[in-house]
Structure 1
């Protein structure tokens, strides 16, 4: 494996993952400037998520048809165009359309980057490569809010988007210069009906969940949209069963390792996806901290994620996927529950320690499941596996935010109390239970599942063949 490949891909993904959260603390300033309200402007956040949901399923077909490297570079360019459009937007409509354009680029960057990695990396080196690629997805959402607040306070909100231009240009140049050429794969005609059904299904569910968790529109709109999405998903399943080459090949779920990795990873993301939403609220509403102070505390999670990168291959080689995923999901659930008992008097050193360990385990889990998805998949199926995995991740992260917000609202409705310490305790306990559920799936994995990737049970590396870290 070319050691520069995951680093180049990670730079682009860092830009995307940070940008998706960096505007959160800047919404009031942007809303004032373009003449709208912060609540209405949350439609821009939803537009980005909907765009991802629509175009992720087609990413595998695009990469096979035109070549993964070319699609990845074009995706960065589209993301840059969307960034410029956001910076020059003068109305709510323009800003929402610009964020949708950004999402089109982002929808190709993440799954295609993972596909490039899978097709250019031997299975024995996939864990190390995935560890590098996982870090941006964990760090970006954590540093996005404080960076957005800093830029908006000391410069102007436009620079939140314009800063993507030099980063994107460097990414296009580096990927063109150093990424290996990946020729197009033989492709069947595009499953147009499948594309429209999957687009309505994924975007309907994501949009509906976003409306429920971010009340920019009446909640009934979100409920109806979720219903439309679910119906479309069922119609797609029926459609896919009747075609030899559907857009997303659901027959991959007949593979027990792939099925467990997707299902277990999705449950875990529902729980963990709520944490970045709840923690800043706890620190700011419960502790009275500023957004910047809150962001500096939650950054401990990113430090834990970075540490994981250096030890993940050795841990997986020693104990295997099954043990790692069981321990990571169980311990992560306990640490999430611990968040619910933080108070303003809790020593910051203890909070930082809990968040550091949570970041380490969370990153270990994501690295493991992202690699396990491809453990028993044939190379020709890697594009399909990537698209299905990316679509599942997008939907479950949105569901996590909705579950976290819903738990807070549920507590407030049933107790008649304003959202406070007890409400946060209840919400964290709810998502802790969800985070622990994947253990019921992973306990059924064979002890040597994914051994071709983890090396567990295989020969130990010799002095002449050091482990990849």
Structure 2
């Protein structure tokens, strides 16, 4: 039974409110990458060193996701959801007004504060407001914008940059945010948890510090060009915080994420597989528009439209994921698909103006289809064998790992690209193209190595469960 009773009007409009918030978030995540070169020119920055704009948002989201449920229970879903939309809209406005890279990164952090709360709290509202018999229908509706956003985001971003300015990729969030904020305040039920739970603040700080230090260390090799000694100190500090978190979590009663989750083999393999396999998937949306515009001379609109096959193929693969997994099993699908994904990413090293454009579009389409199957299989195998008591915590950790892996993917790609640019000199287009080619090759090989993680699954893992669709509330990105 739902924890609140909705009137007919609210029950009809509530899924639209959550869907709009999801659309804002997914659109923003895909519209930005096409605009990075234009933003770099306006801000007098190197377009190859703009990854902090992407990483700042992803890392902020990853940091706050573990606290989102507790914050909503403590202060109420209406206030938090309204505040999330307000922060996201304010961050969008500040992004558009930014006059330097530092201002833009700070504005993206504010955006991330809102983005980290919007979808987790929105899913929580749906979970508490509707009977379980309605959840599949409602969740299917509100996650549809998550597929539409990546489809129109790069193209819309390219057209806005080419025919208006990059500022509009943020300004278009404002009217949607105003409409969503008004609807939330008027219609959203104000729900709180039945029991007041104690939040693991120390664990939150340790886990967050580990993510931030490791991310800054990787970014220090790229955009920040830190001395290697400083990078190693940051990296070791991050690993020490992570070790301290897990040692502490093993001895307290209610940790942020319990180590006992990893006693479930499919969860352990799924989490580690997500972390490493998504390095390539996370790097692609950052690297590909840069390759097309900076190395191959595409206009922003052309670069954005070139990404359409990737999103279309991803949508087309969704109905095929379930029969493939049921027929072949998670071990075979994930091992073979991970190898294929790495090969396809590495094949982008061959992209050049000499090759027909149709070849590039086919490559991107194949990557989109393989990526889609990868996400569905990885996310489902991670959660499918967890006990009901562990499902919420496991889903929270999966959401954090998804965001963290994409952030690390961008940081790793930028560090490799910066290193190869320095090595080749990048004095001309040929040198720059060689740096991109080497980066794609390395990212592809790193992605392929994740197949060794999925080999640790048995042939029967996941087959006894009835669900082979993504579990309710998961993030597909």
Using the size of structure 2 for normalisation, the TM-score is: 0.78
Tell whether 2:447 aligns with 1:438: no
State which drifts further: 201-210 or 258-267: 201-210
User: Which segments of 5 or more consecutive residues in structure 2 lack a partner in the other structure?
Assistant: 3-10, 469-477
Instruction: Describe how 1:295-374 pairs up with structure 2 within 5 A.
Output: 295-374=304-383
TM-score computed with the length of structure 1 as normaliser: 0.80
Residue 403 of structure 2 is matched in structure 1 by 394
1:118 and 1:382 in contact (8 A); partners too: no
Select which of 253, 256, 268 maps to 2:265.
256
Does the CA contact (< 8 Å) of 2:331 and 2:458 recur in 1? yes
Aligned to 2:202: 193
Residue 450 in 1 paired to residue 462 in 2?
yes
How many residue pairs align between the two structures? 453
Q: Is the 8 A contact 1:25 1:291 kept in 2?
A: yes
Three-state SS of the structure 2 residue aligned to 1:246 is coil
Matches within 5 A, 1:70-81: 71-72=80-81, 74-81=83-90
What are structure 1's unaligned runs of at least 5 residues? 457-469
Moved more, 400-409 or 17-26: 17-26
Cα distance in 2 between the residues matched to 1:138 and 1:266: 25
Query: Which of 131, 146, 149 is 1:136 aligned to?
Result: 146
Asked whether the equivalents of residues 147 and 315 of structure 2 are also in contact (C-alpha less than 8 Å), the reply is no
User: Equivalents in 1 of 2:457, 2:187: separation in Å?
Assistant: 38
**CA distance in 1: counterparts of 2:290 and 2:25, whole angstroms:** 23
> Residue deviations 1:389-426, cap 9 Å, x none?
12212222122123323333444555666544444333
Corresponding position: 1:38 with 2:48? no
CA distance in 2, matches of 1:135, 1:366: 17
Is 1:210 the equivalent of 2:219?
yes
The answer to whether residue 159 in structure 2 is matched with residue 150 in structure 1 is yes
CA distance in 2, matches of 1:123, 1:229: 43
8 A contact 2:266–2:381 mirrored in 1:
yes
Q: Structure 2: how far apart are the matches of 1:244 and 1:345?
A: 61
What corresponds to 2:168 in structure 1? 159
Separation of aligned partners in 1, 2:264 and 2:331? 16
Deviations 1:330-378 (A, max 9, x none): 2212211222222322222222122112101101211222233321223
CA drift at 1:26: 4.7
The answer to whether the Cα contact below 8 Å between 1:67 and 1:185 also exists between their aligned partners in 2 is no
* 1:426 corresponding residue in structure 2: 438
Name the residue aligned to 1:56: 65
CA distance in 2, matches of 1:454, 1:5: 29
Q: Distance in 2 between matches of 1:354 and 1:31?
A: 27
Distance 2:137 2:449 in 1: 24
SS for the counterpart of 2:256 is: coil
In structure 2, the partner of 1:403 is 412
Larger CA deviation: 147-156 vs 228-237: 147-156
Q: Is the alpha carbon distance of 1:404 and 1:346 closer, same or farther for their aligned partners in structure 2, counting shifts above 3 Å?
A: same
Q: 1:37 to 1:421 in 2, by over 3 A?
A: closer
Report the counterpart of residue 280 of structure 2 in structure 1: 271
